[in-house]
């Protein structure tokens, strides 16, 4: 019996190591559960045989007393920070005064909370927070509840290690979602969530929070290289972040920083910088430390993704569907490298749930291309005079009374002649995922709208009539307006799904537009389509069907379709697959130079459509593609009566 308990202990510990530390499980969940149940039963029947490193201890932790203070054997210093390459370079130059050829280890700086872990005979004895660096709090029971921290090592070592406890982005979102459902206060970021989860009196709560931990240092290791020490920690069964690297060249370090500043959005967890440490431990000792931080290491901090700032005002804007959205006007603040002064608050529900008020201080978060977001109010800084938010009753532009859509908790201006809606419809029509008319941006649309050159979608295709006025009245360069007009012409060839999405029919997003275009094939057929036909299309529900019917029944829409036909705006859906193989049986020869492409690009485009591209004109050549200053190939083609295309023919034939 004792033998079986020993055996099971080993099997489950190994499985835990594979699953939580290496993140490469080899045992099925079912098999794992069976072993755990068997061990549970045996341990209950024979408590005298329970192994010191029993994996079940980790799960059944008891309630502990408030965290007692513990003194760190070695102070847990914090690193000094630098915020620019210049400052990092200065650090490097300081080092070089003592060490001629320094070697560094670069590691990711995990955004969590530091912990010190003491293992005796390979068993986890104690976990302590950083505290003030000298005195921390005993969080042993909580640490035992974190699966990524093994309660025993692969060897019977006596070692003190330091690491960072953190929560993954996914676990953080799940946690906040659950808390929102339960009407509990949300955590502002994963770091706060991790910190709150570790300092729980009931370690079972800690256990439920999906915390993770990376170890980055051993206090009393034998190896003389930090790089080797990290590898030794891995061998002991501790979880070390895999992205560490040894380098001696400062440019390599800059490249490492750049790589992760870009790459951090793709990581499953948050990092706030890169840590650079001297590799040689003797050299570390030589460099020493100040009262606060070691002189042999430094943290390069990325620009913050989150800042606290004040809400100066809440204003309302009108979208193309007429939806009225509250926006926060912020005391401008630098976040993630850009100045943020305004951000959407999405809708009334969001503002009320987060209880955002004018005058409040809030956490604002931005990462990469993501739109800045108000995460949470700093309630401690709220003044009692800050009034609760109230949604506006009227359109901020045309002043008409708003209608509330019960299901979506959204408010709409239903005035179709509302200027804000008209302008937004145009902006939407030309946007990248819609008709993709480059050069015709929001600002220019506003100018053209105010000059009455552009009032509706039709006007976009009639803009050419104002070319002269635009040049003389608004001072547009010829090149600029001609570029816009060319892009407008080009957009006429777009596939139907783009046009359908561009029309801005309520509830018809890009994906729905594609489904509808594929099924219905031509804009003309929409005029006579029935509700039943629509609802029978996969993924088209009642809301969309009703909205589509209503849109195409309008006389205005029908006039617009007639207009498109007259102006030769494509209203048919063409299959991509067929189009790609358009030239599967054609042979092209290219000669001369082209305005918009070089010959290699043209060849590539043709080949992607299934064509063969050769160098010599023969009887078998299907088309000669002829640019400016053609060679003798043109005469040869004329002689053999082979069709000749210029650049425009090429673009027209290929719908580009």
Q: Which is nearer to Zn ion, 418 or 463 (CB)?
A: 418
Q: Shortest Cβ distance from residue 402 to Zn ion (Å)?
A: 8
Q: Shortest Cβ distance from residue 413 to Zn ion (Å)?
A: 3
Of 398, 390, 392, 344, which is closest to residue 366 (Cα–Cα)?
344
Positions 410 through 469 that interact with Zn ion (CB under 5 A):
413, 415, 418
CA distances for 472 relative to 475, 476, 486, angstroms = 5, 7, 19
Of the chain, the end-to-end C-alpha distance in Å amounts to 76
Q: Which is nearer to Zn ion, 304 or 398 (CB)?
A: 398
Positions 158 through 187 that interact with Zn ion (CB under 5 A):
none
Q: Is 109 a catalytic residue?
A: yes
The residue annotated as part of the active site, out of 101, 109, 277, 312, is 109
Give the integer Cα–Cα distance in Å for 224 and 236.
Answer: 17
Q: Which is nearer to Zn ion, 366 or 421 (CB)?
A: 421
Size of the site for Zn ion (CB under 5 A): 6
- Phi, psi of 487, deg, nearest 5: -65, -35
Residue 79's region, left for phi above 0, alpha for psi from -120 to 50, else beta, is beta
Q: Which is nearer to Zn ion, 394 or 522 (CB)?
A: 394
Give the integer Cα–Cα distance in Å for 633 and 651.
Answer: 21
Q: Shortest Cβ distance from residue 414 to Zn ion (Å)?
A: 8
Q: Which is nearer to Zn ion, 309 or 423 (CB)?
A: 423
Positions 347 through 366 that interact with Zn ion (CB under 5 A):
none
Q: Which is nearer to Zn ion, 218 or 326 (CB)?
A: 326
Copy the structure tokens of residue 81: 């920070």
Point out which span in 172-180, 396-404, 562-570, 640-648 binds Zn ion (CB under 5 A): 396-404
Q: Shortest Cβ distance from residue 554 to Zn ion (Å)?
A: 18
Copy the structure tokens of residue 60: 């059944």
Q: CA angle at residue 508 from 504 to 511, to 5 degrees?
A: 120
Bridge partners (DSSP) listed for residue 120: 123
Among the listed residues 27, 219, 398, 471, the single contact to Zn ion using CB under 5 A? 398
User: Using an 8 Å Cβ cutoff, are 162 and 219 in contact?
Assistant: yes
Task: Decide: helix, strand or coil at residue 277.
Answer: strand
Of 433, 580, 426, which is closest to residue 497 (Cα–Cα)?
433
- Sign, CA dihedral 537-543-544-550, equals positive
Of 520, 521, 539, which is closest to residue 529 (Cα–Cα)?
520
- The answer to the question of residue 77 lying near Zn ion (CB under 5 A) is no
- The answer to the question of residue 395 lying near Zn ion (CB under 5 A) is yes
Q: Shortest Cβ distance from residue 392 to Zn ion (Å)?
A: 11
Give the integer Cα–Cα distance in Å for 460 and 104.
Answer: 59
Helix axes 542-553, 555-566, angle to 10 degrees: 70
Positions 402 through 421 that interact with Zn ion (CB under 5 A):
413, 415, 418
Q: Which is nearer to Zn ion, 397 or 484 (CB)?
A: 397
Point out which span in 143-151, 393-401, 458-466, 522-530 binds Zn ion (CB under 5 A): 393-401
Estimate the share of the chain in helix, then strand, then coil, as percent rounded to the nearest 5.
Answer: 40, 20, 40
Q: Which is nearer to Zn ion, 398 or 537 (CB)?
A: 398
Q: Shortest Cβ distance from residue 400 to Zn ion (Å)?
A: 5
Q: Shortest Cβ distance from residue 571 to Zn ion (Å)?
A: 30
User: Using an 8 Å Cβ cutoff, are 122 and 53 in contact?
Assistant: yes
Q: Shortest Cβ distance from residue 170 to Zn ion (Å)?
A: 40
Task: Decide: helix, strand or coil at residue 517.
Answer: helix
Task: Give the catalytic positions in this structure.
Answer: 109
Q: Which residues bind Zn ion (CB under 5 A)?
A: 395, 397-398, 413, 415, 418
């Amino acid at each position: 019996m004792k033998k079986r308990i020993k055996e099971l202990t080993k099997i489950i510990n190994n499985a835990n190591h594979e699953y939580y530390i290496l993140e490469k499980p080899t045992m099925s969940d079912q098999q794992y559960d069976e072993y755990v149940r068997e061990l549970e039963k045996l341990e209950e029947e024979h408590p005298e045989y329970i192994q010191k490193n029993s994996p079940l201890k980790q799960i059944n932790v008891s309630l502990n007393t408030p965290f007692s203070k513990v003194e760190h054997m070695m102070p847990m210093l914090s690193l000094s920070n630098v915020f620019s390459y210049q400052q990092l370079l200065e650090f490097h130059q300081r080092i070089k005064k003592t060490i001629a050829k320094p070697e560094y280890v670069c590691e990711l700086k995990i955004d969590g909370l530091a912990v010190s872990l003491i293992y005796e005979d390979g068993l986890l004895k104690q976990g302590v927070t950083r505290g003030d660096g000298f005195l921390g709090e005993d969080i042993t029971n909580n640490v035992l509840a974190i699966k990524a921290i093994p309660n025993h090592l692969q060897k019977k070592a006596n070692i003190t290690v330091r690491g960072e406890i953190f929560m993954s982005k996914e676990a953080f979102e799940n946690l906040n979602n659950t808390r929102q459902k339960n009407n509990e206060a949300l955590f502002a970021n994963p770091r706060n969530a991790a910190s709150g989860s570790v300092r729980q009196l009931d370690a079972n709560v800690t256990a439920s929070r999906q915390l993770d931990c990376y170890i980055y240092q051993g206090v009393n290791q034998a190896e003389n290289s930090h790089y080797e020490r990290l590898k030794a920690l891995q061998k002991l069964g501790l979880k070390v972040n895999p992205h560490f690297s040894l380098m001696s060249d400062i440019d390599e370090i800059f490249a490492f920083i750049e790589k992760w500043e870009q790459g951090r959005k793709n990581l499953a967890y948050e990092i706030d910088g890169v840590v650079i440490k001297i590799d040689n431990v003797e050299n570390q000792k030589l460099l020493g430390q100040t009262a606060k931080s070691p002189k042999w290491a430094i943290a390069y901090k990325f620009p913050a993704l989150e800042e606290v700032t004040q809400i100066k005002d809440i204003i309302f804007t009108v979208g193309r569907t007429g939806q009225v959205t509250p926006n926060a006007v912020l005391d401008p603040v630098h976040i993630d490298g850009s100045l943020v002064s305004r951000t959407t608050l999405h809708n009334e529900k969001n503002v009320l749930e987060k209880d955002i008020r004018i005058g409040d201080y809030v956490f604002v978060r931005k990462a990469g291309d993501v739109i800045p977001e108000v995460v949470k109010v700093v309630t401690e800084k709220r003044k009692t005079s800050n009034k609760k938010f109230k949604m506006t009753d009227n359109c901020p532009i045309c002043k008409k009374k708003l209608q509330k859509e019960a299901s979506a908790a959204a408010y709409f201006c239903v005035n179709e002649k509302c200027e804000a809606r008209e302008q937004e419809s145009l902006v939407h029509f030309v946007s990248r995922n819609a008709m993709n008319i480059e050069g015709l941006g929001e600002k220019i649309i506003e100018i053209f709208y105010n000059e009455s050159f552009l009032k509706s979608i039709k006007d976009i295709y009639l803009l050419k009539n104002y070319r002269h006025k635009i040049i003389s009245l608004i001072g547009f360069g010829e090149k600029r307006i001609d570029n816009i007009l060319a892009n407008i012409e080009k957009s006429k060839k777009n596939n139907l799904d783009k046009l359908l999405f561009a029309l801005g029919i309520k509830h018809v997003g890009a994906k729905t537009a594609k489904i509808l275009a594929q099924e219905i094939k031509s804009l003309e057929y929409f005029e006579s389509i029935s509700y039943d036909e629509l609802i029978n299309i996969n993924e088209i529900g009642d809301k969309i069907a009703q909205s589509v019917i209503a849109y195409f029944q309008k006389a205005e829409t029908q006039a617009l379709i007639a207009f498109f036909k007259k102006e030769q705006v494509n209203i048919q859906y063409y299959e991509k697959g067929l189009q790609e193989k358009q030239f599967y049986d054609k042979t092209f020869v290219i000669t001369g130079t082209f305005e918009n492409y070089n010959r290699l690009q043209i060849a590539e485009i043709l080949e992607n459509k299934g064509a063969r591209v050769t160098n010599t004109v023969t009887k078998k050549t299907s088309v000669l593609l002829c640019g400016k200053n053609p060679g003798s190939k043109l005469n040869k083609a004329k002689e053999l009566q082979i069709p000749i295309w210029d650049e425009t023919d090429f673009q027209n034939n290929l719908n580009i």
